Structure 1
Amino acid sequence: MTTSSGLYYRDPHIQLHVGDATTVLATLPDGSVDCVVTSPPYWGLRDYGTATWIGGNPRCQHTLGTTPHQRRSPKATYPAEATRNGEKRCRRCGAVCQDLQYGHEPTPEKYVEQLRRALSEVWRILAPEGTVWLNLGDSYSSNSDGYVCARRGNPRQPSYRPAAVVSHKSLVGMPWRVAFALQNDGWIIRNAIVWHKPNGMPESVQDRLSCRYEMLFLLVKQQHYFFNLDAIREPYTADRPLRRKTHYGGNKDNTIKMYWTPQAKGKNPGDVWSMSTRPLREAHCAPFPIDMPLRCIAAGCPEDGLVLDPFSGAGTTGLAARQLNRQFCGIDLRPDYHDIFLNRLADQNGEICNTAA
């Protein structure tokens, strides 16, 4: 049960909090987290049903609309002052929407600013040698022309739709907008990893290619940080022995001059990770595969360290952390997602016990 401090569940290895990520992060002690693995809600793609409504018809099944543009923008049939101020209302009864979830900001800049505020708190609570693994997807701009015109039936009250910063149908480039903003805040971008999704969702598009990847950024606070490459090395696939893989350098132009010998423990996995998505029926449709946090935590978190996910959702990061014997702290607006995580954890522990037996 949620307490006044937002603490929902605690045991010797897990803490779960309910509330806004930035607000809850502000209550955590400095330097207490060793590794962050998280995937914030993407801009303008999903509604996680966390809104509260004021006024309107109490019997109404409130909605902000079905398209990303409708959910991000105020409805134009309400007073121009409200729409210009970004006040969102139910498109059926006019109830005012109050929502703390990320991803419904009216512009990319406001979304970036939201994440910057959250990551500023992450900076404070992250250990000096800690790592942050930030997964972000992109989206396309829609209905971005903007207009001010006479409202139907009442020409004295104009309707208004704000213009977007990029052209209609253009890729927004949100992952890199966030990454560059965080870089300006002092974060060091050590890797921009491409998560290749072999079974990516099909798209009914005819004038562009379907998207089959997302970005995963490795961010650190300083030049020296914890990173265990040996924990995530991949086995060599060729049949040649290691001694035949050694490169002794060369004297010709455009050849590598340095000596290099392969590691017996395996090869560096590189910055393109092919991992299939795994839909979760009990929760929202957006959890990343557990393979991703398993690799991030194994490489970026010391043994017995604390892993944080400020947008924990159904708790995939928590499952990976406990599987690797790390502590876990999760934050989410929806307590029922924490319940899903605890049920998944119980199932995972049961599978581990059965395997050990």
Structure 2
Amino acid sequence: MKCYFKKNTEFYYEDRDLALLNGDCLKLLSKIKEGTIDCIFADPPYFLSNNGISVSGGKQVSVNKGHWDMGYDLQQKHKFNRKWIRMCKKALKDDGTIWISGTMHNIYSVGMALEQEGFKIINNITWEKLNPPPNLACRCFTHSTETILWAKKDLKKNHHYYNYKLMKELNGGKQMKDVWRGPLTPKKEKSEGRHPTQKPEYLLEKILLASTNERDICLDPFCGSGTTGVLARRLNRQFIGIDIEKDYLDITIKRMNKEQMTLWH
């Protein structure tokens, strides 16, 4: 994995097809050699930690995710989005693609930042959650969707990879639409530890199957508990993950090791 990084890069964990870096992605993305990454999945902070309440498992819980999710106003948030997207563009191959998930609280800034930084949006995926938490205030509709933007570099001769045949096959012989339905992350996928915005495995499986080939190198700059990495390993892809929290990287390592044991058996 060291061949993808500049000299003197410090790894939190590394093996033949996995590299984890601990720290601020705005600093660590510059450690990756330019034009080496095939696919990026990013689930950036939504900056929603405002001491409010939500529902999880039928109980009222705080919406606060952590210090990494607090304190940005609109201008700061957009500046942050432009900067990390710009750095991802440098790391991405010219025919590579980037997927970014978010809710209404951040995705519109992300979409504008993508275009400002020289990307062309391929698809606007709507992920419909079949079991969303109820709306406690009862003053608006229940929030049951997230958006996932899929984009490529806006170059004249830029042919991105899309496994159309497989996606059609997985959709019963019909063209797959841009609305994906499924449940929230089940408890069994959180057995090694919890992350407040952990995405379900089926979502990342579909993303990686649609836009990568075996042995491609996938990057997640907001790695969290490592769902992107777990599916990369399961599907025989290579993976680079960055996260500011060591505890979440430790969960990623546990999940990756568990996945490797499953593959061996």
TM-score range, shorter chain: 0.7 to 0.9
Map of 1:4-83 to 2, 5 A cutoff? 5-45=9-49, 66-67=51-52
Which residue of structure 1 lines up, in the alignment, with residue 197 of structure 2? 286
Match of 1:109 among 75, 78, 82: 75
Question: Which residue in the other structure is 2:63 paired with?
Answer: none
Report the counterpart of residue 165 of structure 2 in structure 1.
230
Q: What is the alpha-carbon distance in structure 2 between the residues aligned to residue 234 and residue 268 of structure 1? A: 8
Aligned-partner SS, 1:233: helix
What is the SS of the residue equivalent to 1:232?
Answer: helix
Q: Which has the larger radius of gyration?
A: 1
| Aligned pair partner of 2:122 in 186, 190, 201 | 190
Which amino acid in the other structure matches residue 207 of structure 1? Answer: R
User: In structure 1, what is the equivalent of residue 215 of structure 2?
Assistant: 304
2:100 partner amino acid: L
User: When you count strand as a share of all residues, which structure comes out higher?
Assistant: 2
Give 2:226's match in structure 1, choosing from 315, 322, 326.
315
Q: How large is the RMSD of aligned CA atoms in angstroms?
A: 1.9
| Structure 2 counterpart of 1:291, one-letter code | Y
The aligned residue for residue 90 of structure 2 is 124
Gaps in structure 1 of 5+ consecutive residues: 46-64, 69-98, 140-173, 238-265
Structure 2 length as normaliser, TM-score?
Answer: 0.84
Q: In the aligned structure 2, how far is the partner of 1:120 from the partner of 1:236?
A: 34
Alignment-derived partner of residue 210 in structure 1 = 142
2:100 corresponds to 1:134: yes
After superposition, the Cα gap between the structure-2 partners of 1:234 and 1:191, relative to the gap in structure 1 and judged at 3 Å, is same
The count of aligned residue pairs is 238
Alignment of 1:256-295 (within 5 A): 266-278=173-185, 279=187, 280=190, 282-295=193-206
Contact 1:303 1:326 in 2 (8 A): yes
Q: 2:221 corresponds to which letter in structure 1?
A: P
Q: Is the 8 Å Cα contact of residues 214 and 237 (structure 2) preserved in structure 1?
A: yes
Distance 1:300 1:336 in 2: 29
The separation in 2 between residues aligned to 1:231 and 1:122, in whole angstroms, is 27
Assess if the C-alpha contact under 8 Å between 1:43 and 1:108 holds in 2.
Answer: no
Alpha-carbon distance, 1:301 to partner: 1.5
